[in-house]
Amino acid sequence: MALSGISFNLIELGHFAAYLAFFVAVAQALAPIAARYLKSEGLRVITVNGAPIVFLLTTIGALTIVNAFITNNFSVLYVALNSNTHLPLFYKIAALWGGHRGSLYLWIWMMTAYSAAVAYHGRRHYPDRIVTIMAVQAALIAGFFGLSLFMSSPFTRLYPVPPQGANLDPLLQDPGMVIHPPMLYMGYVGFSIPFSFAMAALLTRWKSELWVGHIRRWSLFAWGFLTAGIVFGAWWSYYTLGWGGYWGWDPVENAAFMPWLMGTALIHSISVQERRRMLHTWNIFLIITTFALSLLGTFLVRSGVLASVHAFAAAPGQGIYLLSFMVVILILAFGLFLARGGYQQVEEYFVSPMSRESLYVWNNIIFTVAAACVLLGTLYPLFLQALTGARISVGPPYFDLVMVPIFLVLLVVMGLGPLVSWRKANMGKLKERVALPLALAVVAGGGLAWYWGAGAWTAPVAAGVIVFVAVTIGANVWRAVAQRRLAQRESWAVAFSRVVLGNRRHYGGMIVHAGVLIIAVGLVGSGLFKSSKLVMMAPGDVMVLAHERVQFDGVRHIRGSDYTAVQGRLTVLNNGAQLRPEQRVFDANPMEVTRPSVNSTLLRDVYVDIGDHHAGKWEIHLFVNPLVNFIWLGGGISIFGLVFALSDGWKRRVRVTQAALSTP
């Protein structure tokens, strides 16, 4: 069977399924309006029942694209541009999100998965509001489907069919490609759920204390994925690009960081509302702003306005569509917020400026200021170029100058939080609890300043702040365990396990904070104490840097699955470790790609990259990065803490189920 000379195959089925998904999403969004004007409540069922159907249809589309990659179906334009017959299967599957068209479809696929999950959950927990929530979510899905199907379709056919495809970008042929983008997208897309809740609440005057508990878990899921995506992206950049760093304040990196900042503020602010029934309106503002920044990140990455290693090339029309879509959503959202956001009445007020809820408010203000500073540094060059034609770059000097003090203040607030009571702090008890952490902080900061001598102020101040927060976290846990041990006459181990397991939400948060603190250690160590040297080396030469001795043993030529490479051979003489940096040239792409090699211990990385050669010598770039592995370790601990905190809900559901089963 033929269609315009191109054989009919599974990709046409996927294309048809995607169109059906789009039309069902449109029907979901319009069904509540039609039900109201036609006075037919039965139409409202379409909005909820359509969610799993849209997810199923979108999944069929995604699977047919993956099948096209696996079977080398170069009649599909997207496959021809991002794959070839030599590409390993591992990367053929990941190529689904290796380019603009496929990654946009992945975004939509994930949004439909979230929607189906909310529809399932909402039938039981908020049946009277689920229709409005799903209508908002469906409108968002339909909007993104409009871009994907009509302007940037991954199903577009190519004729005549080429015998061979181009190739997936060589920089993306790395295991990090399989993990980083989906995690990041799960974070971005996940914040659409709190947004849909907030819009439904404003439209139906749903009091926020009735729904804020529901969005807490969705917000935590989104925040967790976004955190993992950012940390893993930094790790991928570090181990792949050969520049010895992990974060360059690239505009697209900033696009992910801004919703993370506002999402973090939102999670903390929800805790205040749940505990003290305040900050209702502020939380709705944070929800809208967090999702708005997620949309802004999508626009920056896909509009073509940025030149970045992370950004996709896109036609101007796609950028205009995204910008228009984003502006319409924000006008409607903030307009609705201004019109109806004031209906929430604050039920409790601040009793004292020195209370835990006051610190949470300061925490929110600081996170908002941080996001505003990053937004300014990211967008200012774009506005200046649009208005005057001048091209400038706002890079690390600006961001380091602004963000380092903000980050240190945030750490101080994080350390004070556990020491201050709700409503009003006991100042005598607070002074007693602050004394030891403050003294140890002064000793740590002063000791580092004395040892290091003249240098940046940030190192000793950061060391003091880190010690202060670490001691407050440790003391908080110790006091709780000691009180239980005294009251219950238990051993230290038993008391510790029962205290921590008995309040997973609180101590999960403490674990997250401990992870952030460990990340701070890594940022300070690798940012302020790193060393680098670029030299030409002949076989047998030895380079010394930061007490590390590295010998160049020569090069060899190797053959990979779809590339050839010049592999450097170096030895770290301090411990005998072998380093093997490479220069790769892929069969289907003449672009030369470097792959650094790293010898890691907990306290330092010896990181080496190989460059050009001349007269028998090779360009060797050596870095010694102290404490950089604390960043990845801290990220893992933070994610574990989040999972631990979320397990409190699972434990509570188990208790409820057991109680129900035991009831006669």
Residue 589 has pLDDT above 80, yes or no: no
Do residues 162 and 181 both lie within one domain? no
Do residues 190 and 305 both lie within one domain? yes
Do residues 34 and 84 both lie within one domain? yes
**Which H/E stretch holds residue 361?**
helix 356-388
- Predicted pLDDT at 21: 97
Do residues 297 and 438 both lie within one domain? no
Best CA proximity match to 376, nearest among 352, 356, 401, 353: 401
- Residues across the chain: 664
pLDDT band for position 430 (50/70/90)? Answer: confident
Q: Write the pLDDT tens digit of every residue in 152-174.
A: 899 999 888 898 888 887 888 88
The contacts found for 211-215 with CB under 8 angstroms, 24 or more apart, are 211/126, 211/129, 212/270, 212/273, 212/274, 212/280, 212/283, 213/274, 214/125, 214/126, 215/270, 215/287
- Predicted pLDDT at 381: 82
- Predicted pLDDT at 457: 80
What total number of domains does the chain contain? 4
Do residues 558 and 617 both lie within one domain? yes
- Predicted pLDDT at 626: 95
Residue 533 has pLDDT above 60, yes or no: yes
pLDDT band for position 2 (50/70/90)? Answer: very low
Residue 628 per-residue DSSP state: T
pLDDT band for position 522 (50/70/90)? Answer: very high
- DSSP string across 469-506: HHHHHHHHHHHHHHHHHHHHT--HHHHHHHHHHHTHHH
Best CA proximity match to 249, nearest among 308, 182, 291: 308
Q: How far apart are CA 583 and CA 566, in angstroms?
A: 5
Range of the domain at 157: 1-173
| CA contacts within 13 A on the Cβ side of 633 | 16
Best CA proximity match to 256, nearest among 188, 315, 195, 314: 188
Give yes or no for a contact between 200 and 144, defined as CB atoms under 8 angstroms apart.
Answer: no
Do residues 525 and 536 both lie within one domain? no
* Beta strand pairing call for 597-600 and 582-586: unpaired
pLDDT band for position 454 (50/70/90)? Answer: low
pLDDT band for position 451 (50/70/90)? Answer: confident
Contacts of 583 (CB under 8 A, 6+ apart): 565, 566, 592, 593, 594, 595, 610, 611
pLDDT band for position 346 (50/70/90)? Answer: low
Q: Write the pLDDT tens digit of every residue in 238-289.
A: 998 888 899 989 888 898 999 999 999 999 999 888 887 778 888 999 999 9
Q: Which of 144, 173, 202 is the last residue of a domain?
A: 173
Cis-peptide, bond into residue 163, ω within 30° of zero? no
Q: Write the pLDDT tens digit of every residue in 78-89.
A: 999 989 888 888
pLDDT band for position 1 (50/70/90)? Answer: very low
Q: Which of 153, 173, 193 is the last residue of a domain?
A: 173
pTM of the prediction? 0.91
Do residues 509 and 605 both lie within one domain? no
Do residues 301 and 238 both lie within one domain? yes
* Beta strand pairing call for 6-7 and 2-3: antiparallel
Average pLDDT of the chain to the nearest whole number = 87
- Predicted pLDDT at 652: 55
Contacts of 199 (CB under 8 A, 6+ apart): 132, 136, 333, 336
Higher pLDDT, 175 or 575: 575
Give yes or no for a contact between 231 and 635, defined as CB atoms under 8 angstroms apart.
Answer: yes
Q: Write the pLDDT tens digit of every residue in 463-507.
A: 999 999 999 999 989 989 998 888 888 888 999 999 988 889 889
Residue 662 has pLDDT above 70, yes or no: no
Do residues 516 and 658 both lie within one domain? yes
Best CA proximity match to 130, nearest among 73, 46, 39: 46
Q: Which of 140, 173, 206 is the last residue of a domain?
A: 173
Do residues 362 and 467 both lie within one domain? no
Do residues 229 and 340 both lie within one domain? yes
Do residues 622 and 655 both lie within one domain? no
Question: Tokens at residue 554, please?
Answer: 């020569």
The stretch 113-120 carries a mean pLDDT of 95
Query: CA distances (Å), 58 to each of 16, 48, 55, 155, 177, in order?
Result: 10, 16, 5, 12, 22
Considering 275-284, 387-396, 653-662, the range whose residues carry the highest mean pLDDT is 275-284
